[in-house]
Every structure is written in structure tokens, then in C-alpha cells.
Amino acid sequence: MTVYAIIGGTGLTKLEGLTISAVLNIETPYGAPSAPILRGNYADREVLFLARHGHPHRIPPHQVNYRANIWALKHAGADVIIAVNAVGGIHAAMGTGHFCVPHQIIDYTHGREHTFFAGELEHVTHIDFSYPYNDILRDELVEALAAEGVAYSSHGVYACTQGPRLETVAEVARLERDGADIIGMTGMPEAALARELELPYACLALVVNPAAGKTHAIITMAEIERALDNGMDKVRATLARVLAG
């Protein structure tokens, strides 16, 4: 049976309802993962869970050890990865509380350890990253969202920015011209690293605020936290439907 790994982002540092059977402290060639990997049962299915920002939430996006996280999940037995991401909305459809299952990503990050193919190599390796998200996993997420009856988009372009600050109005305008629909800070290099280790990967994105310039109000953490509180039950229900098959 396929072993699903869930990477929880902001608002999902623990997976309520997970019956934990093992806490895995895995050492990797790239250092320590963000948190121990939890193996357990969720929705009558064995799963692995990793808090991307640690538990408690303490590691900013640009300091997450993405290589250690993905390597550790592979080592723990993950067959596929579903990443949960809190994002800002650019496209008019992407209002607060809306879900998106992106089909493409644009990487605006810099200075992150972004590949396993580095150091003393026997040969140069290039992966095909034309389509960064796995379509089978994406379809499972879309079907689950539809069954939950929540507002969602089955496609979208994820712009991954460096963080930890939020973007300027001019930056968001540029991202919109580039074709981005949502903005996050953790989608890369996570997706590319999963591809390098041949782990099918998909993203479940929850919009927690309008992007800069999409509202006249200043974006506040209180606003984001309210959206997270309101959305996490729907995230968990969606994941449970996927795992239930």
C-alpha cells in the first residue's frame, strides 16, 4: 500500500487525529530535518508527517533544511508527498479561504540549498521539471476538495518567494505579469528535491491573505492566523478523504 507523507506548513505543525506509532529522529547527510518524522495512522491509513517549520513553528522559510526533510521522508519509507502550504492570493479567484492545487511553479528564491546533485559528483545530472507536480496526486486532491464542497481551483501557478517578509505591491504586480496566481515561500526547492529523489509530489495550498496591493488594508498576522484557524479543519478533512481513497 502506498505510504503517503504529509508535510505540514504554517498552521499545520501537528496533524490532529494522527495516532502516532513511532517518532523517527533520522540523521541525514544534509543535517537534521525540521522536526522528527511521525509515523502513525490517519484515516485508517499509515502515514508519515513532518512539520516543515518545526514544532513549535520556529524555522523561517529561508532557513528550512529542505534537503534533510525530503531525504528523511524518503528514508522513512515515503512513496508520495502531499505538501500543505499557506499562501497569498494574486488571482481574483484566490480569495481568503480559497484552496488551490497548483499545476506549475516559478522559483524566485535565492541562496537556498536546492539540489542533491552538488559536491564531488561522478557526472552532472539534470532532472526534467517541466511539470513539477504529480498529476495523479493532484487529481486525488481535487476530487477530495470537490467532495468537501469547499471553494477551490484545480490549477494555478505558485510563485515561490524568498521570505520571510511579505512582498511589496510592485513585486506582486510583477508576479502577476509573470502569470502567478498564488504566492508562497516554501514551495521551492521542496518540489524539485522531491523530483530528484523520484518522489511524486503535490501541493494543497490554502489562501490565507490577499497579496499586497490586492486590498487597501495592511496585511496582518492576526488576519492570517484567523484564516488558518478557519481553514485547517478543511485541510485535515481533505487529506483524510485522499487517504481513504
Region 228-234: mean pLDDT is 90
Q: Is 185 annotated as a binding residue?
A: yes
Q: Which residues neighbour 49 within 8 Å (Cβ) at sequence distance 6 or greater?
A: 5, 6, 8, 14, 15, 18, 37, 38, 40, 42
Can the peptide bond before residue 61 be classed as cis, meaning omega within 30 degrees of 0?
no
Region 41-59: mean pLDDT is 90
Q: Of 184, 178, 180, which Cα lies nearest the Cα of 164?
A: 184
Q: Is 226 annotated as a binding residue?
A: no
Q: Is 125 annotated as a binding residue?
A: no
How many angstroms separate the Cα of 165 from the Cα of each of 62, 126, 170, 217?
10, 31, 14, 17
C-alpha cell, 235: 485541510
Q: Is 52 annotated as a binding residue?
A: yes
Q: Is 53 annotated as a binding residue?
A: yes
What single DSSP character describes residue 244?
Answer: H
Helix spans in the chain (H): 66-76, 135-148, 169-177, 190-196, 221-244
Asked if residue 57 lies in contact with residue 170, where contact means CB atoms within 8 angstroms, the answer is no
All structural domains of the chain, each given as residue ranges with its CATH number in brackets, are 4-114+128-244 (3.40.50.1580)
Residue 216 above 90 pLDDT? no
Q: What is the pTM of this model?
A: 0.94
Q: Is 215 annotated as a binding residue?
A: no
Residue 137 above 90 pLDDT? yes
Position 90 confidence tier, pLDDT thresholds 50, 70, 90 = very high
3-state class of 54 per DSSP? coil
Percent of the chain with pLDDT over 90: 79
